[in-house]
Structure 1
C-alpha cells in the first residue's frame, strides 16, 4: 500500500431510523396487492448494514401476463379521460408523496444506503416530476389544423400508445419510477412497471398509497428478476412500448426482445461523463463541482462527473485542488449527520467496483486518494481519484458506477473534444471555461445529450434528459417525455 493509498476515510455511523411500515407483500395488479404465482422470494437488503429488511416475490411471466391483462382492460377508459382529469390524478399523486415524505425518504435510504440529503433530493424531485407532468399533460403543442392540400383539411390527433412496460433501476428507485409513471399516465397510457428486485420498496409503497386515487389497472407493479419479469415485459405482444432506465447491456436485451413484436423502445442507459477543464477555468469551482457531482449518490449516477480532462498547463494545480476536496468527503450511513456519500447498492456491485480499482492498479495508474474498501459492516468504498491516466486507458471509457473519478490531460481544444467524444456513451458532459466563445463552440462539438457550462448535473424538470450513441434514445423529463409516450395520427377531410 502506497502512502496515497493509506485509509483516510471512516464511515460515520448512526443509529438507523426505524423503518416505516413496509408495503404489503405481493404483486400490485388491477388496483390491489395479489399473491404471486411464484413461491420464491427475493431478499431486500440494507446495503449500509447488510441486514435484510424484508422479502418480495420473485415474479413470473404469468404475473406479468396478469398485470398486462389488467392494463389492457383499463387502457380504453383511461385514454378517454381528458387531460384535465389526468392532470388532477398526477397532482394528487404528488400531494400523497409530499404528505408521506418522511416515509419515502426513510424507506429509500434504508433500501439504498443513501445519505439523508440524497434521499430528500430524490423525493423532492419525484414530487416535482409529477407536478410538472400534470401541467404538461394539458399543454401539448402540435401542428395547427388547416388545408395543406387543396380542398382537404388536416387534423393531427395525439393519442396514447396504449400499454407501456417500464423497467426501473436501483440507483434512484422512486425518482426513476416517477420519471416514467408521470408522463406515461399524463399521455393517457396504462403501465406495468418492474422495479429493480434490489430496491422495490418505495415503488410498492407508492402503489399502496395511490391505489384509491388511480383507476384499477392503470398502474401495475410486478417484482422479480429482470431475466424473467423484464424479458416477458419486453417481448409481450400486448405491450405497445417498453421503457427502461438501466445499463447498456440491459437496454440491448430489451431492444432485441422488443424487436420480435416491433414495439417502440425508450432507452435511458449508461454514461461516462467527461468534465473538460480548460486552462482559463475557475479551477477551484471545477474541483468543487467534481466533488459534488462526481460522487453524488456514491458515484452511482449515469451522469456523474467521473472523467476529468484538464489542460496540461493547469493539471497539477487542478489535481491538487481536487484531491484536497475529495479527501474531505464524509462517508456515512443513512442518518449520519453531514454524510455526503453512502454505501454501494449491493455486495455484488461493491465487488465490481473494487475489481475495477484492482484493474486500475494493474494498469499502472496513480491512485491519488482513496481506492480501498472501508472496513466494517456495509458496502462502503473510499472516494477515489485516479491520476496519470493516458489517452485510451480503459478507465476512460468503462463505466465504473462508483465513487471513482479519473484525471487525464490534453493540449489543444481540438484534442479535448476528440478525446471527450471517444466513448460509446453520449449522455452528459460539462465544459469549464471563462472564454465566452469557447463556451459557445465546444458544447456544439460534444456528442452528448446534455452539456453543462461551468456546472454539472444540474437537472431541471422542464428540460429533456437523455443521450446519444450507447446511452440510448428517447427523452425523460420535459414535454418531450410526453411526446415519447404518445403517437400522432393524421386525419384528412375532403371538403371538395
Structure 2
C-alpha cells in the first residue's frame, strides 16, 4: 500500500536520481547534450526538474557498449541469463511501492493503477527468464538424404527500443525481458515525458546487469529515436507509440534493412448485443474505458450497442462515469481518474470532443476542461456518433467513451471493423454461437468475450493494420527477438 511516507520517499528519490544517460554500466553526462527537457507533474503542473536531451553521439556510445557486451551476454547459457533477470525482478518486487509512487507522480497515474502495473514488470522478467530456457525448434533429423539438419535459435544482436509515456516501466519491461532473455543487448530510449522510473530501475540494477547489456539514452524521438533507427550498429528497432512514430521508425530502419517491431495505436470497439449483461459491461467499461485517463491503446473507448438496449446502457454508463473520483493521485488511493499527461494532450482531446459535438454528437456528461490546476479532462460519454466520423474511427487517447447504435449482427461487425486499427476489441453476449461468430470475424489481435482489457504475460499482445506488427508477451515475443539458423551437416558414406 502506498502511504504518505511512500510518496515523500518517492519525491525524495525523484530529486536524487541521476539525471543522466546510462551507458556501459554507469550514469554519464559526457559528450554534451542538446539542451535540457523539463519534466512536469501533470496533476499540479509543478516542476520535477529536467533531464538532458541526448545527441547522436550518445547513441553511438550506447551502441558501442552494447556491441562490446553482446558476445559475452549471448554466449551465456539461458539459465545464466535467467538468473540475472530473476535478480532484476527481485529488485523490482522489493521496491514496488516506491516505483509505483514515482510513476504516479511523473505520469499523473492513480495510485491503485500504478500499484497494479509494477508487479507486471517483475512478472514479465520472470516469465521470459523461464521461457528462454525452453525455446523450441524443429527436431533434428535427415530432411535431405545423407545430411543432418538442426536449427540454432540465436539473438538478433543489438536491439534499439523506444518506450511510451503512458506505461513507462511496464512497456520498458515488455521490451527488456524478451530482448535480454533471448541473448540480445539493448539501447533503450524512454519517453522524454516520463523517464523517472526507468532511471530509478537502472540505478537499482547497476550492480546486477553486466556493463553494456542495457543502456539508456535520454532525449527526444526526433533526435535520439531517429539516430537509433538509422544506426548501422543496431540490428532491430522496437517501439511502442503512435502510428506516426512507428512510420518514422520503419522508414528510417529501412535504410539499413533492420528488423522492426511496432506496437502502435488502437480504437477498440466494444460490441454490446441485446442479451448482454449490461451491469457487468458498464462496471468493466468504467475501468477499461477510463483507466489511466483513457491513455491506453486497448481502452474500451468505442461502444457499438444494440438499439434495443442502447438507452438503458447509456444511462448506466453516464452514472458510472459521473461516480468516478477525479483528482491528484497524491490525494490518496480513492482517486480513480488522474490527469492526462500534458496540456497539449488535454487540448487535443478537448478539440476532438468539440468537433464531434459540432458534427451532431451529444455529450451526455463531461466534455469540458475543468477550471483547476493540472491537465485534467473529465470522464466523458458521447452518443449519437455517426458511423465513419472522426470520433468513430480515430483514437482519442483520453477519458472519452463514444456510443453508436446497431440493429443486426452483421451491421455490428461491419461497424466494429470500420477502422484502420486492429489492436483489441470485445463482444458482450450470452449467446455462445454469436460469441464465437463475432470472435472469428472481429479483425483485431486480441478479442475479449464478456470482458475487456484483461492481459496475461503468457499470451501475446499484437496488433493488425495500423496497430503495428510484432508480438509483446508470451513465447511469441521471444520468437520476434531471435533469429533461426539452419545448420546442415553432410554425414558422409558409412565406413565398414
TM-score range for the pair, normalised by the shorter chain length: over 0.9
SS at match of 2:7: coil
Structure 1 residues 350-394: Cα deviation after superposition (integer angstroms, max 9, x where no partner): 111111121122112100111111221101111000001121121
Q: Counterpart in 1 of 2:19?
A: 25
Is 281-290 or 451-460 further displaced after alignment? Answer: 281-290
5 Å-filtered alignment, 1:219-298, equals 219-298=214-293
Q: 1:201 aligns with which of 196, 201, 209?
A: 196
Aligned Cα root-mean-square deviation (Å):
1.2
Deviations 1:429-457 (A, max 9, x none): 00000001011111111110000000000
C-alpha distance in structure 2 between counterparts of 1:160 and 1:388, whole Å: 51
TM-score, structure 1 as length reference: 0.96
Indicate if the aligned counterparts of 1:47 and 1:345 stay in contact, CA closer than 8 A. Answer: yes
The alpha-carbon deviation at position 150 of structure 1 amounts to 1.1
Q: Distance in 2 between matches of 1:382 and 1:335?
A: 18
Please give the alpha-carbon distance, in whole angstroms, between the structure 1 residues aligned to 2:437 and 2:231: 45
Per-residue CA deviation, residues 242-270 of structure 1 (Å, 9 max, x unaligned), is 00000000000000000000000000000
CA distance in 2, matches of 1:44, 1:389: 36
1:336 Cα deviation (Å)?
Answer: 2.5
Q: Partner of 2:133: helix, strand, or coil? A: coil
Structure 2 counterpart of 1:452: 448
Query: Does the CA contact (< 8 Å) of 2:445 and 2:461 recur in 1?
Result: yes
Say if 2:116 is the partner of 1:121. yes
Inter-partner Cα distance in structure 2 for 1:146 and 1:273? 45
Using the TM superposition, give the Cα deviation of residue 15 of structure 1 relative to its aligned residue in structure 2, in angstroms: 11
How far the C-alpha of 1:92 sits from its partner, in A, is 0.5
Aligned partners of 1:131 and 1:45: how far apart in 2?
A: 33
Q: 1:471 aligns with which of 467, 473, 476?
A: 467
Specify the alignment match of 1:5 in structure 2.
none
TM-score by length of 2: 0.96
In the alignment, the residues of structure 1 paired with residue 12 and residue 474 of structure 2 have an alpha-carbon distance, to the nearest angstrom, of 32
Deviations 1:123-173 (A, max 9, x none): 111111111111111111111111111111111000000000000000000
Query: Runs (4+) of structure 1 moved beyond 3 Å?
Result: none
Greater relative contact order (Cα < 8 A, sep 6+)? 1
Q: Distance between the aligned counterparts of 2:467 and 2:19, measured in 1? A: 34
Q: Distance in 2 between matches of 1:460 and 1:20?
A: 33
Which stretches in structure 2 are left out of the alignment for 5+ residues?
none
**How many residue pairs end up in the alignment?**
483
| 1:17 to partner: Cα distance | 2.7
Work out whether residues 16 and 334 of structure 1, in 8 Å CA contact, stay in contact via their aligned partners in 2: no
Contact map agreement 2:303 2:404 (CA 8 A) in 1: yes
Q: Distance in 1 between matches of 2:205 and 2:409?
A: 52
2:374 corresponding residue in structure 1: 378
Q: Does structure 1 retain, via aligned residues, the 8 Å contact 2:6–2:101? A: no
Could you list the runs of 5+ residues in structure 1 that have no partner in the other structure?
1-13
